[in-house]
Structure 1
Amino acid sequence: MARSGPVAAASLAVLVALGAGLGVGVWLARPPVPTALENGGTLSVSPVGERAWDDARTVTLTVTSQAEQSLTSLLSGRVTSSSCSPGAAVTSGTSVMGVDGAGLLALATSVPLWRDLTTGDKGADAAALNAELTRLGHAAPHSDRVTRATVAAYRALAAAAGTAAPTDGVVRAASVMWLPAPSITVATCPVRTGDVVAQGDPLVTLHAGQVATIGALPADALAGDRVLVVDGERVPVGTDGQVTETEALAAVLASSAYAGATPDDQGTRQLSLTWALRDPASVRVVPPSAVAGAGAGSTCLVATDGTPLPVQVVGSELGQTFVLPAGDGDPPVLPAQVQAAPAATTTCG
């Protein structure tokens, strides 16, 4: 029994050495700790889903009764051309009549052009001109100021309509026949080719009818063609908020919303309807906690490696947030997973 002491001591020394070696091996084999897990943190990830989103909003459609109206001339001279015909449509961006050899360009601006406009002019009429040129597919600015782009867009539209395009940079009010809507139906044609007209004489008269317009379009709505949902039917509406197609307007006037709305003294009715994208957008779906930078001017998701991914928040529903990739240049490709709760100190760029 006296000899067991040294043996036991030697065995213990071997075991201690082996244990130390194993510990060193385990320490050396341990993978690096991700930044997100340092200081005892726990990285929680969330999947990035995908769904169709029609960006539906509730809007107020104002339906007003329009009395018989005349479209008048700002020029004095002889009518040298006319394609005016009772029952026919006149649409914005076309020409149906010319005076003294110059075609009049029909334009449905929200404010009639009451003065000649040139580069630098500013006002509601300039804003209305820019908006209508944009609606008609031309590259006019989104502002209340006339720029060289405004004049170039007007020149291109006038040339396409077969009217005289300005060469001196001036959009002349007398060259425009104002329309109260993007498309109107002619009731009568008071003048014919060869007639002499004075300033203020009627050129075209319109039937009485209804005009339907969304008064205030949501500024943060996703871009794209839109529809109104009327008794379950999706009817087209213009980018300016006007319902101009005959069948679409008929659907509005026959709707339960129209029947249930109380007209005011002028016969105007206010209808609450759903306004949605015609073709739903494909958006990404994340929990609200995954969105960093909310309220700081920019928002982002954060990849599992800590990279911020700029996004635009476009909606939410039932505890889910809908986003689209954002940022200058090519938007980022969103991964399948992101951090579920980025640090409050995260900056998005």
Structure 2
Amino acid sequence: MQDSESLQIARAMRRIPRWWLIPVVVLVVLAGLGAAYWAGTSTTAGTESTPPLAAVVPVSATVERRAVVKQVVLSGKVVAGAESVLQASHAEGVDRLVVTAVAKEAGSHVAPGDLLAVVSGRPLLILPAGVPLYRDITQGEAGPDVESLQTVLTSWGYACPVTGSFDLPTQQALGFWYKAAGFKAPTASDPISQGEAGSAAPKPSSSDIMFRWREFVQVPGDTGKVASIAGSGAILADDGVVARIRVADDAIVARADVVQAEQFAVGMRVTVRAGSTALDTTVAKVSSFLEGEHSENTIPGKDITVALPPGAQGFAAGQSVTVTAGSAATESLAVPLIAIRQEGGRPYLLVQANDQKNDQANGQPRRLEVKITAQADGWAAIADVDGLLVGDEVTLQ
């Protein structure tokens, strides 16, 4: 009986789970991991050293000798000079406009007082543009046109008081002008052509002389150069064009934006280049602000007009060119702009000491006041100063 009870107790104990083994195993694993981590950190700490602090190394640049100049380059085109058309008008009794003689040729200069040509037997005289031409003037008539005519005749040395009335002295002065050109002045009693000088027409009295506006032409600006003129014997078309006068030389026009335009002024020197051809000339005009034209691919800004001297070779009308502001500068001492320091508005440099010139203890940079003469493209031009030579090192900021 006792043996049976012992057997039952043994069987019951085998059925009881051994739960206490699980926490034991966990503790063993954690202890192993902790030991491994401690061993690793100890090994790394023994091999690594503390990194040194970064040393501050001053940055420097070398003093050079170079040309420092601020240049603005624009794109432009050669624009043909303006022309004025001079026309003859049909007079009473004249059926056709025929050039019977010419007094000028292509390339000739024209000015007030000159004879341009003879059309249908009558002269075409050049009158200053300031004299209004809108009517024929006869004895006793008055007005601002008469006064202007008198002023012109007086300036040419004719005895003609400025009264504003077409009086006898004015008629006589006008007659003398015609005579100097080789013609007789028209008269009120004979409105039809009197013919050229030397004709057999009777000599009119001074009181009969009239001002016939169709016998005068005017040139804008009063002077110009003949671009083309009809030849002797030519029959003019209905428009009566006798000649074309170039009143302005070819010019170069370039558009600058509002910032670029500040670098240009009338009279300043510029360089114009067309391919390998270069020309030094001047700015003739700076326009007021102009809106951009998207259709013409032009930006808002100002037009810079550059004079093109007559006879300049290699610059044809319509040709693309570049216009550069700023003439070539002479070379001088130069340093990067970031080397310039200021104190109280006075610029200075920190010049580093070297073996040949070490006037401060411990080789510290020395301060040297300088004068800046120009700035461009990140460089500053320095006037020559004692203590600064090409090759010296200056500290940058």
TM-score grouping bracket, smaller chain normalisation: 0.3 to 0.5
Counting strand residues as a fraction of each chain, which structure ranks higher? 1
